[in-house]
Amino acid sequence: MIGPLRLLFVDDDADIRMIVALTLARDPAIALDAVASADEALARMRVGTPPDAALLDVSMPDMDGPTLAAALHTIAPRLPVIFMTAHSRERELAVLRAAGAVGVIVKPFEPLKLVDQIRALL
């Protein structure tokens, strides 16, 4: 890959967005676009170059992560999606994988390991 990994991150929690942004900013090979809602994510996808991957919160008020992933895939069918969730039961993780996830990162996550987790899943 030439240039940084362009990652779209969607989470309605401002604190989580800040932690992820600060964590990923430590890696100059990642260009993060963090947004607070599915609507913002879809708007970003409709203009400009699509990201290389998406990191999506599962539980959001306007549209959940799996529904957003399906909508993103109508714009960029091959977009790899990683979900972030506090739900770690195998049944719940299987549903996310069935929704097309390349992987799932369970919250709370370890900020210092986040970059490695994302890279390993992609």
Pick from 15, 18, 14: nearest CA to 37: 14
Enter the pTM of the model: 0.93
Read off the pLDDT of residues 7-64 as tens digits, 9 standing for 90 and up: 999 999 999 999 999 999 999 999 999 999 999 999 999 997 889 999 999 999 999 9
Average pLDDT over residues 56-78: 94
Q: Which superfamily is assigned to 5-121 in CATH?
A: Response regulator (3.40.50.2300)
Question: What is the chain written as a DSSP string?
Answer: --S-EEEEEE-S-HHHHHHHHHHHTT-TTEEEEEESSHHHHHHHHHSSSPPSEEEEES--SSS-HHHHHHHHHHH-TT--EEEEES---HHHHHHHHHTTEEEEEESSP-HHHHHHHHHHH-
Q: Does 74 have pLDDT greater than 70? A: yes
What are the sequence ranges of the domains in the chain? 5-121
